[in-house]
C-alpha cells in the first residue's frame, strides 16, 4: 500500500521544526509597539498644522462634517507618513455584504511630463474612491449597468499600514455605497445606528442635566473564539479548505469530556503564534488583552479591551485577518468557522456592549449615588425593553448556515433570545415593576432618586453561560454571535432597538417634566409599565434545558431555530418601520439584505453538499471498497483453507451494508441537489434547508460509521483524533 495524504501529513508534522522565536520582547517593548502603524491622533498632531488638526479631531470625536481643505492637508501628511514607513500603495478598505473586507490597491505614483514621477495623494483621493463594484452582493439593489460603487473615507477609524514582504500598503477604512446612495456595506448602517442611539441617549442625559456631554458612543469588546490546527492537515481535508468545516469525521475517542483543555497550558507553538499575532495587532493599535485555551481541544480565545463600536468592528475584522495570516507563519491554520468539528464545542464571539458618553461615563454602570442609579436604571430598562420588543431582529443578526450548527445545540445559547439578570437585579426589577422600590435583597429601603442600588456583583451575570444575552455588571453580553461574523450586524440592531426604547422613554419623560412632574417621580411612574410588558424576555434559569423551550413557548417568545426561520424577520413591517424611522436602513436596503442572506445560505449549503458528494465518491467510497475487497479476500482464503469463519463473514456483511447505504445516501444527496427549486432566493433557501440539509446529515452519519470500521492505513482523510490533538 502506498501512503496517502493523511499519512504524509502526519509524517511531515512529526519531522518539521518551526522557528518560534521571532520577537524579543526584552528589546521590543509592547508599549512601544502599540499603534506604530496607525495614523492616529499623536501622528496627526505632529504632522498637521494646528487648525487642521483641531478640525480633524472635531470630525473624529464629534462627527462634524470635514472641511475639504482639511482633507487635502490630511492626505498629504498621511502620504508622507506612509511613504516613510515603506508604503508604495494605498487602499480604501471596505466591508461589503459578504461579511469580509475588500480592497483594491493604487500606487502613489504619478508620472510627470518630463518622464519622471512623483508620489502624490490628494484630499479627493483620500475622501472618495470608485472601485469596480459590480461583483459584490447587492441583493438586487442595483443592476450591473448601474454598478458604480463609491467608497468614502471614515475619518473616525484611523488609517493604518499593512506591512508586506515587498512594500507596505496604507489602508484607509471606508464606507461603501452605490451611486444612488444605498449602503452596500456593513459600516454605513453601523455609523448610522450609532448616530441614532446618540441622539436619543442625549435626550435622556439632558433631562439629567449633563450639559458637558456632546455625544454618546456605544462600546464593544468582542471575545473571539477560534481553532488552530496544523496546516498539513488542511491539504488532506478539501472540506476544511473549501468550506471552513469538516463535513465528515467520526467522533474521537477523546473529545472535550475530560475538561482538561479549558484554561489549560497553552501549547508552545500556539503560544508563540498568539504572541506574534498580538504584537502585530498592537502595532495596528488593536488593544488585545486576553488569551486562553477554550473548552474544545485546539480551541482558543482572544479578547481585546473594548472600544467604540465602529473601531471595535474594524479592529475585529483586522484581528481575524491577522490571526489567519500569522497562523500560516507557524505552520498552523486558524479556523474561524462556527463549527469546524462536529461533536465538540463550536466557536462564537461574545459581543460585550454598553453605552458611553464622550466624557467617558459608562451609562450601564450602576452608580454610587441615588441620582446616578436613577439614570442607570433608565438606560438599563431601555435595553430590556428593546430586547423584549425586537428579539427576532437580534436573532436574525446571528443567523447563518454556519451558526445553525451552534445555536440551539447544547454548547451554545439557544435560538430563543432571552436576558439573564441575576438574582439581585431581578429583585430590583420585580420591585420596580410593583411600584415604589421598598427593600432590596440586601435589606434597606429603596426609591428611585432617593436611595442607592445594592452593590451589584460584577460577575453575577457571567456565571450563567447558557443565556444568549446577559448583564455582566456594567455591560450586556450578546453571546449568540458566530465566530466568523462581522460584529456590525448585531451592533446595528442593538443600537437601533435601544435608540427606539430611549426615544420612547425620553418622549414620555420630557412630557411629564414639562408638565411640572419631578423627574424621579416621572421615572418611577414610567418603569412599572415597561417592565410588565418586557419581563417575559427575562430568564435566569438554564437556557439549555427542554423546560426552557416549553416555558419560552408559553411566554410567547419566538424560537427561530434555523437561519431560514430568521431571515424573513428583517422585512417584517415593524422592522422596516423601525429602521426607516431611525434612518439606519431604507426599505430597499432591507429588501436587498433579505435577498443576500437567502442567497448566501443557498450558496453555503450548495458548496458544502457538492463537496460532500465529491469526497464521498472520490475519497471515502474508494477506501471502503478497498477494505471490502481485503476482507472479502480474507474470507475466501480462509474458507478455501477449510476454516470456519462466521465472524469474518459477519464483518464483511456489516461493511458491505454500510457501503451500500453510503452509496445510496450519496445518490440521494446528488438527486436533491440537482433539483432546482422554484421561486425567489428565500424559497430556494427554504428548499435547501428542508431537502438538502437532512440528506447531508444522513450521508455524514454513514461516512463516519465507515471511518470506524475501515482499516486505518486505508483511511485517506485526517481524523478528528489527529487534527485536534497533534500539536
**Binding to ligand ADP in span 277-306, by CB under 6 A:** 303-306
CA separation for the pair 496, 487 (Å, rounded): 14
Give residue number: closest CB to ligand ADP: 221
Task: Indicate whether 117 belongs to the interface with ligand ADP (CB under 6 A).
Answer: no
Task: Indicate whether 471 belongs to the interface with ligand ADP (CB under 6 A).
Answer: no
Closest CB to ligand ADP among residues 476, 715: 476
CA separation for the pair 184, 189 (Å, rounded): 9
Q: Are 696 and 246 in contact (CB under 8 A)?
A: no
Let me know the angle formed at the C-alpha of 417 by 466 and 439, rounded to the nearest 5 degrees.
75
Q: Are 334 and 327 in contact (CB under 8 A)?
A: yes
CB of 365 to ligand ADP, least distance (A): 7
CA separation for the pair 468, 119 (Å, rounded): 51
Task: Indicate whether 4 belongs to the interface with ligand ADP (CB under 6 A).
Answer: no
* # binding residues, ligand ADP (CB under 6 A): 17
Q: How many CB atoms lie within 10 A of CB 130?
A: 12
Task: Indicate whether 219 belongs to the interface with ligand ADP (CB under 6 A).
Answer: yes
Which region among 12-20, 200-208, 213-221, 248-256 touches ligand ADP (by CB under 6 A)? 213-221
CA separation for the pair 488, 248 (Å, rounded): 32
Closest CB to ligand ADP among residues 303, 658: 303
Task: Indicate whether 575 belongs to the interface with ligand ADP (CB under 6 A).
Answer: no
Task: Indicate whether 464 belongs to the interface with ligand ADP (CB under 6 A).
Answer: no
Closest CB to ligand ADP among residues 182, 223: 223
Task: Indicate whether 462 belongs to the interface with ligand ADP (CB under 6 A).
Answer: yes
Task: Indicate whether 490 belongs to the interface with ligand ADP (CB under 6 A).
Answer: no
CA separation for the pair 414, 649 (Å, rounded): 46
Closest CB to ligand ADP among residues 422, 449: 422
Longest CA–CA span in the chain (Å) reads 105
Closest CA to 192 of 207, 177, 211: 177
Q: Are 413 and 539 in contact (CB under 8 A)?
A: no
Quote the cell numbers at residue 698: 444522513
- Among 243, 352, 592, 666, contact with ligand ADP (rule: CB under 6 A): 352
Task: Indicate whether 413 belongs to the interface with ligand ADP (CB under 6 A).
Answer: no
Closest CA to 319 of 487, 480, 185: 487
CA separation for the pair 475, 89 (Å, rounded): 40
Task: Indicate whether 224 belongs to the interface with ligand ADP (CB under 6 A).
Answer: no
Q: Are 186 and 160 in contact (CB under 8 A)?
A: no
- Among 403, 472, 491, 592, contact with ligand ADP (rule: CB under 6 A): 472
Task: Indicate whether 495 belongs to the interface with ligand ADP (CB under 6 A).
Answer: no
Which region among 120-128, 292-300, 347-355, 630-638 touches ligand ADP (by CB under 6 A)? 347-355
Using CB atoms within 10 A of its CB, is residue 640 exposed (0-12), middle (13-18) or buried (19+)?
Answer: exposed
Alpha helices in 63-186 (DSSP H): 68-84, 123-127
- Among 157, 298, 354, 496, contact with ligand ADP (rule: CB under 6 A): 354
Task: Indicate whether 309 belongs to the interface with ligand ADP (CB under 6 A).
Answer: no
- Among 220, 456, 487, 692, contact with ligand ADP (rule: CB under 6 A): 220
CB of 474 to ligand ADP, least distance (A): 6
Quote the cell numbers at residue 678: 422554484
Which region among 220-228, 231-239, 507-515, 698-706 touches ligand ADP (by CB under 6 A)? 220-228
Q: Is the dihedral of CA 215, 351, 361, 578 positive or negative?
A: positive
CB of 316 to ligand ADP, least distance (A): 10
Closest CB to ligand ADP among residues 219, 373: 219
Task: Indicate whether 223 belongs to the interface with ligand ADP (CB under 6 A).
Answer: yes
CA separation for the pair 63, 700 (Å, rounded): 52
Sole residue written with cell 481485503: 630
Closest CB to ligand ADP among residues 11, 289: 289
Instruction: Kindly list the residues in this chain that would bind ligand ADP in the complex (CB under 6 A).
Output: 219-221, 223, 303-306, 352-354, 362, 459, 462, 472, 474-475
Amino acid at each position: 500500500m502506498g501512503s496517502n495524504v493523511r499519512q504524509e501529513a502526519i509524517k511531515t508534522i512529526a519531522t518539521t521544526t518551526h522557528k518560534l522565536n521571532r520577537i524579543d520582547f526584552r528589546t521590543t517593548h509592547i508599549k512601544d509597539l502599540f499603534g506604530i502603524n496607525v495614523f492616529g491622533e499623536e501622528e496627526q498632531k505632529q504632522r498637521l498644522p494646528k487648525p487642521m488638526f483641531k478640525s480633524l479631531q472635531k470630525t473624529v470625536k464629534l462627527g462634524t462634517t470635514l472641511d475639504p481643505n482639511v482633507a487635502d492637508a490630511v492626505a498629504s501628511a498621511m502620504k508622507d507618513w506612509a511613504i516613510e514607513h515603506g508604503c508604495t500603495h494605498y487602499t480604501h478598505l471596505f466591508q461589503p455584504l459578504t461579511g469580509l473586507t475588500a480592497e483594491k490597491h493604487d500606487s502613489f505614483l504619478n508620472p510627470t511630463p518630463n518622464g519622471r514621477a512623483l508620489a502624490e495623494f490628494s484630499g479627493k483621493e483620500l475622501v472618495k474612491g470608485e472601485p469596480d463594484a459590480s461583483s459584490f452582493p447587492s441583493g438586487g439593489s442595483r443592476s450591473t449597468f448601474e454598478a458604480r460603487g463609491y467608497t468614502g473615507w471614515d475619518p473616525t477609524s484611523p488609517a493604518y499600514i499593512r506591512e508586506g514582504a515587498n512594500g507596505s500598503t496604507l489602508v484607509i477604512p471606508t464606507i461603501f455605497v452605490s451611486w444612488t446612495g444605498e449602503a452596500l456595506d456593513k459600516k454605513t448602517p453601523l455609523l448610522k445606528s450609532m448616530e441614532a442611539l446618540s441622539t436619543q441617549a442625549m435626550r435622556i442625559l439632558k433631562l439629567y442635566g449633563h450639559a458637558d456631554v456632546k455625544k454618546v458612543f456605544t462600546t464593544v469588546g468582542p471575545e473571539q473564539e477560534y481553532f488552530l490546527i496544523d496546516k498539513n492537515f488542511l491539504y488532506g481535508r478539501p472540506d476544511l479548505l473549501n468550506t471552513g468545516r469538516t463535513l465528515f469525521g467520526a467522533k474521537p475517542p477523546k473529545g472535550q469530556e475530560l475538561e482538561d483543555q479549558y484554561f489549560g497550558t497553552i501549547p508552545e507553538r500556539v503560544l508563540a503564534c498568539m504572541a506574534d499575532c498580538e504584537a502585530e495587532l498592537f502595532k495596528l493599535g488593536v488593544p488585545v488583552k486576553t488569551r486562553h485555551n477554550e473548552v474544545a481541544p485546539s480551541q482558543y480565545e482572544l479578547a481585546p479591551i473594548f472600544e467604540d463600536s465602529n473601531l471595535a468592528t474594524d479592529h475585529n475584522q483586522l484581528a481575524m485577518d491577522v490571526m489567519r495570516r500569522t497562523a500560516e507563519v507557524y505552520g498552523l491554520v486558524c479556523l474561524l468557522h462556527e463549527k469546524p468539528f462536529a461533536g465538540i464545542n463550536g466557536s462564537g464571539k461574545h459581543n460585550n456592549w454598553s453605552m458611553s458618553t464622550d466624557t467617558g461615563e459608562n451609562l450601564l454602570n450602576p452608580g454610587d449615588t441615588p441620582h446616578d442609579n436613577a439614570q442607570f436604571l433608565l438606560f438599563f430598562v431601555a435595553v430590556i425593553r428593546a430586547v423584549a420588543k425586537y428579539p427576532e431582529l437580534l436573532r436574525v443578526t446571528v443567523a447563518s448556515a454556519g451558526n445553525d450548527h451552534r445555536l440551539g445545540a447544547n454548547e451554545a445559547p439557544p435560538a430563543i433570545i432571552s436576558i439573564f439578570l441575576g438574582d439581585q437585579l431581578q429583585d430590583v426589577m420585580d420591585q420596580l415593576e410593583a411600584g415604589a422600590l421598598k427593600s432590596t435583597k440586601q435589606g434597606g429601603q429603596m426609591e428611585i432618586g432617593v436611595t442607592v442600588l445594592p452593590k451589584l456583583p460584577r460577575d453575577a451575570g457571567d456565571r450563567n453561560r447558557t443565556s444568549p444575552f446577559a448583564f455582566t455588571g456594567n455591560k450586556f453580553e450578546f453571546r449568540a454571535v458566530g465566530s466568523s461574523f462581522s460584529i456590525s450586524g448585531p451592533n446595528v440592531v442593538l443600537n437601533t432597538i435601544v435608540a427606539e426604547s430611549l426615544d420612547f422613554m425620553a418622549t414620555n419623560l420630557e412630557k411629564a417634566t414639562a408638565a411640572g412632574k419631578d423627574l424621579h417621580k416621572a421615572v418611577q411612574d414610567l418603569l412599572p409599565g415597561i417592565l410588565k410588558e418586557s419581563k417575559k424576555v427575562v430568564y435566569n434559569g438554564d437556557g439549555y434545558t427542554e423546560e426552557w423551550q416549553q416555558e419560552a413557548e408559553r411566554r410567547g417568545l419566538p424560537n427561530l431555530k434555523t437561519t431560514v426561520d430568521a431571515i424573513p424577520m428583517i422585512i417584517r413591517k415593524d422592522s422596516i418601520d423601525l429602521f426607516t424611522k431611525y434612518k439606519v436602513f431604507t426599505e430597499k436596503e432591507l429588501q436587498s439584505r433579505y435577498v443576500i442572506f437567502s442567497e448566501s445560505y443557498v450558496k453555503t449549503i450548495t458548496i458544502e453538499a457538492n463537496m460532500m458528494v465529491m469526497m464521498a465518491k472520490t475519497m471515502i467510497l474508494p477506501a471502503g471498497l478497498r477494505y471490502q475487497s481485503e476482507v472479502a479476500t480474507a474470507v475466501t482464503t480462509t474458507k478455501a483453507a477449510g476454516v470456519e469463519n462466521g465472524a469474518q463473514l459477519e464483518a464483511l456483511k456489516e461493511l458491505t451494508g454500510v457501503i451500500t447505504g453510503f452509496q445510496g445516501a450519496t445518490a440521494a444527496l446528488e438527486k436533491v441537489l440537482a433539483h432546482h427549486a422554484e421561486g425567489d432566493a428565500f424559497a430556494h433557501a427554504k428548499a435547501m434547508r428542508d431537502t438538502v440539509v437532512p440528506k447531508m446529515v444522513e450521508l455524514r452519519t454513514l461516512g463516519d460509521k465507515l471511518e470506524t470500521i475501515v482499516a486505518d492505513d486505508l483511511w485517506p482523510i485526517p481524523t478528528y483524533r489527529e487534527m485536534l490533538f497533534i500539536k
